[in-house]
């Protein structure tokens, strides 16, 4: 009886999780990550890696860019880029290539967001 109740609860839990995944329309992520310190461009030997940086490309970045409510602005990094920002989340659209990228960092010690863009 105890095993039957456990199995029923497990199956119900799996069905709920599957339903949530379907309701959320989950997709594969396109991108990469790096473990880094606060010096993104020229880390020194004493820099302590304390954050994970996520870089999203392709459909992932395009979907994020499209859903960000911020107005696009010309990027200070490159005249051919339009940029949207929400806190430490930054997404860009390359106006000549039609390509999208997004980046955000997460501090490993406290889970707060951090800048992941060098420019």
What is the percent of the chain with per-residue pLDDT over 70, rounded to a whole number? 82
* 106-109 contacts, C-beta under 8 A, 24 or more apart: 106/51, 106/52, 106/54, 107/50, 107/51, 108/35, 108/50, 108/51, 108/52, 109/50
- Provide the whole-model pTM: 0.77
User: Model confidence over 14-71: pLDDT tens digits?
Assistant: 455 555 556 888 999 999 999 999 888 888 888 899 999 999 999 999 999 999 999 9
**pLDDT category, 87, cuts 50, 70, 90?**
very high
């Amino acid at each position: 009886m105890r095993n039957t109740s456990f199995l029923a609860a497990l199956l119900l839990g799996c069905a709920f999780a599957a339903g949530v995944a379907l309701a959320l329309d989950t997709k594969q992520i396109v991108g990469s990550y790096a473990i880094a310190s606060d010096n993104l461009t020229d880390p020194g030997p004493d820099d302590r890696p304390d954050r994970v940086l996520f870089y999203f490309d392709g459909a992932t970045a395009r979907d994020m860019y499209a859903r960000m409510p911020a107005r696009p602005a010309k990027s200070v990094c490159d005249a051919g880029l339009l940029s949207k920002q929400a806190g430490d989340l930054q997404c860009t659209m390359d106006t000549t290539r039609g390509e999208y990228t997004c980046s955000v960092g997460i501090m490993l010690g406290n889970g707060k967001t951090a800048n992941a863009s060098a420019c």
